Amino acid sequence: MSGASAATGQALPVAGSRETAREVWRLSRGHRLRLATVGVLGIVSTGVNLIPPVIIGFLVDRVQAGTADLGTVLTVTAVMVLSAVLGAVGTAVTIVLATRVYHTILAALREQLVGRAMTLPQHLVERAGTGDLISRTSDDVTAVADAAPAVIPALTVSGFTIVVSLGGLAALEWPYAAAFAVVLPVYVLVMRWYLRVGPRVYGAERAAMSARAQQILESQRGYATVLGLGLAGQRHHTVMAASWGVAVHTLRARTVMAMLSLRLNLGECLSLATVLVVGFVLIDADASTVGGATAAMLIVLRLLGPINELLYVVDDLQSALASLSRIIGVATIPEETDEPTATADTGIAVRLHEVAFGYGDGPRVFDNLTLDVPTGQRIAVVGASGAGKTTLAAVIAGIHLPDAGTVAQPGRTTLITQETHVFAGTLRDNLTLGAPRATDDDIHAALDATGAAGLLDLLPDGLNTMIGTGGHPLTDAQAQQLALARLLLADPELAILDEATAEAGSTHAGLLDRAAEAALRGRTGLVIAHRLSQAATCDRIVVMEHGRIIETGTHDELVAAGGVYGGLWSAWEAGRGMNNKPGRTD
């Protein structure tokens, strides 16, 4: 993979190896002195740990020569104990310092990820699927964080031990180092095989996790639809299929791990056998001593553990690197520079010129659509289900980019849909999301204007009441009032209400219509009308059918024309008459 980010299909980008290394190096700025300290301390502590094999070899030679006594044994014992203590302390300090640097850098990356994820263009998230983003901010972050206990000791202590031990082996008797070097290509080949297979397997596993998260999320979000249409069995099958996909890729990853173990065992056998043979030849030729051969074998045995640990941890490292590349792929998505678009004329807040849009490879929802929304006017968009109203709102809001044509809209545009979300936090936090500098007086004024002031009397701690998940529950009507009050505090130039009062039912329809009226007062508004009573109060009405604008005008003009809108209004009036008959209840 090249250094440039690579995208898979419509998924969010995944950083290449060069880009990942470059970003990690950038994040290490300010911690490089500590990293250098880790390196020096690691080399010193592993050097101390080489003393026991050498001192044991010395003892073996003294015993063989018959010159060893109690003092020799006590001296050797004291040196081994001292070196073990110093080595253990040095190793512990090395791991602690490395862990602190690791988690500091990870924390900075996590903050960068969250910050960028919160500002990603909505059309990019919609195209990739929110499950992909959620998987990266949860599963992938967890995978990188959980890799620390295994990866840090291997990359620090084991890495230093291998380098220092090879140097010590060469200093002891160079033929031993040469013999071990002959076996090193086996480990190199194992690593090359693993690095060729591992990243692909773990990347596929992470992608499968994203797909599973997307299916679970869609089932949860569409819970009412799933129950209403009897789709529980179908959704269960879909989620299970995605879960089995994850299981299959996980089994492949574990198979790769098992094959790695077999190759490492072969390397161990070859290493020990080679050094033993060389030791026998050197002793037989009086080129080495039994003590020297013993020290060489102990150093090799000491080497095998760190080498195997380092190679084993590559399994965790590859999984973590796959997740790290996915995290950095999102964290480093460049800020989009707005493409040149048509600039609306003075007095025109929104201008769509020959706009075309379709979802993926499907048919276009609309084509060559042209629409002007004058500044300060309130425009209603009506039409049958599937006419393209919600898509039009999303294109104007910037959630979807047009396939062709140009869209010009105010810089401060806010969209509220019928899927109102209440964030876990206080009522004050929820209301000031778009207006962090709003005072309590501003909040009370917004609640009064939207008819939600009475909500404070129902909450135990007023504005400080925790709401959302785990907090005080809100009804659908209260959640929509909160969303409209939030819009009022944000004070956008253009407010788009996509059936934003549709979920409350007829009981609260009048209340929410008045709240919407207050939220739109004094600003340009686009209303995707669920009830024609909302459309009737707007300055102008746009009627859509199959992605085309077929009628436009004021309420009175369209009713008098007797066209599609006139027919819809007559049916609406007749329906209201039936609902208002004595004895009828909703």
DSSP per position, 84-148: HHHHHHHHHHHHHHHHHHHHHHHHHHHHHHHHHHHTS-HHHHHHH-HHHHHHIIIIIHHHHHHTH
Residues 68 and 116 in one domain: yes
For the chain, what is the domain count?
Answer: 2
Residues 461 and 557 in one domain: yes
Q: Is the C-alpha dihedral spanning 439, 441, 442, 444 positive or negative? A: positive
C-alpha distances in Å from residue 118, one per residue of 57, 208, 215: 62, 23, 22
Residue 412 sits in a domain whose CATH number is 3.40.50.300
pLDDT at 345: 60
Average pLDDT over residues 138-165: 75
Residue 134 sits in a domain whose CATH number is 1.20.1560.10
Residues 293 and 360 in one domain: no
- The answer to the question of residue 7 being in a domain is no
Percent of the residues in the chain that have a pLDDT greater than 70, as a whole number: 89
Residues 442 and 303 in one domain: no
Q: Compute the distance between CA of residue 521 and CA of residue 378 in angstroms, rounded to an integer.
A: 9
pLDDT single digits (tens) 406-465: 888 888 888 888 777 788 888 888 888 888 888 889 888 888 888 888 878 788 888 888
State yes or no: pLDDT of 506 exceeds 60.
no
pLDDT at 1: 38
DSSP 463: G
pLDDT single digits (tens) 110-136: 888 888 877 777 667 767 766 777 778
Residue scoring higher pLDDT (551 or 175):
551
State yes or no: pLDDT of 344 exceeds 50.
yes
C-alpha 106, offset from chain centre:
14
Q: Please say whether the beta carbons of 319 and 267 come within 8 A.
A: no
Residues 106 and 138 in one domain: yes
pLDDT at 341: 45
Residue scoring higher pLDDT (107 or 173):
107
Averaged confidence pLDDT in the chain: 80
- The answer to the question of residue 53 being in a domain is yes
Residues 189 and 48 in one domain: yes
Residues 151 and 222 in one domain: yes
Task: Give residue 542's pLDDT band: very low, low, confident or very high (50, 70, 90).
Answer: very high
Outline where 398-528 has alpha helix (H): 427-431, 440-449, 455-458, 476-490, 509-520
pLDDT single digits (tens) 192-215: 887 788 778 877 887 888 788 888
Structure tokens at 270: 């070859």
- The answer to the question of residue 586 being in a domain is no
Residues 178 and 271 in one domain: yes
State yes or no: pLDDT of 317 exceeds 70.
yes
Among 44-58, 158-172, 246-260, 295-309, top mean pLDDT goes to: 246-260
pLDDT at 123: 67
pLDDT at 8: 40
Residues 308 and 427 in one domain: no
- The answer to the question of residue 520 being in a domain is yes
Residues 104 and 173 in one domain: yes
pLDDT single digits (tens) 375-414: 889 999 998 888 888 888 888 888 888 888 888 888 888 8
Q: Compute the distance between CA of residue 551 and CA of residue 533 in angstroms, rounded to an integer.
A: 18
Is 0.75 surpassed by the pTM of this model? no
pLDDT at 584: 42
- The answer to the question of residue 6 being in a domain is no
Among 93-97, 150-154, 217-221, 260-264, top mean pLDDT goes to: 93-97
Mean pLDDT lowest among 31-40, 222-231, 561-570: 222-231
pLDDT at 501: 64
Question: Helices 51-65 & 159-172, crossing angle to 10 degrees?
Answer: 30
Long-range Cβ contact pairs of 452-455 (< 8 A, separation 24 or more): 452/478, 452/481, 452/482, 452/484, 452/485, 452/515, 455/427, 455/481, 455/482
- The answer to the question of residue 12 being in a domain is no
Q: Compute the distance between CA of residue 162 and CA of residue 516 in angstroms, rounded to an integer.
A: 70
Question: Helices 70-118 & 290-331, crossing angle to 10 degrees?
Answer: 10
Residues 359 and 252 in one domain: no
pLDDT at 540: 92
Residues 240 and 356 in one domain: no
Task: Give residue 579's pLDDT band: very low, low, confident or very high (50, 70, 90).
Answer: low
pLDDT at 336: 62
Structure tokens at 367: 């084509």
Domain ranges, residue 289 = 17-331
- The answer to the question of residue 338 being in a domain is no
- The answer to the question of residue 2 being in a domain is no
The DSSP element (H or E) to which 569 belongs, if any, is helix 564-579
pLDDT single digits (tens) 242-283: 889 888 888 888 888 788 778 877 877 887 788 788 888 888
pLDDT single digits (tens) 220-234: 777 777 777 777 888
Q: Compute the distance between CA of residue 151 and CA of residue 166 in angstroms, rounded to an integer.
A: 21
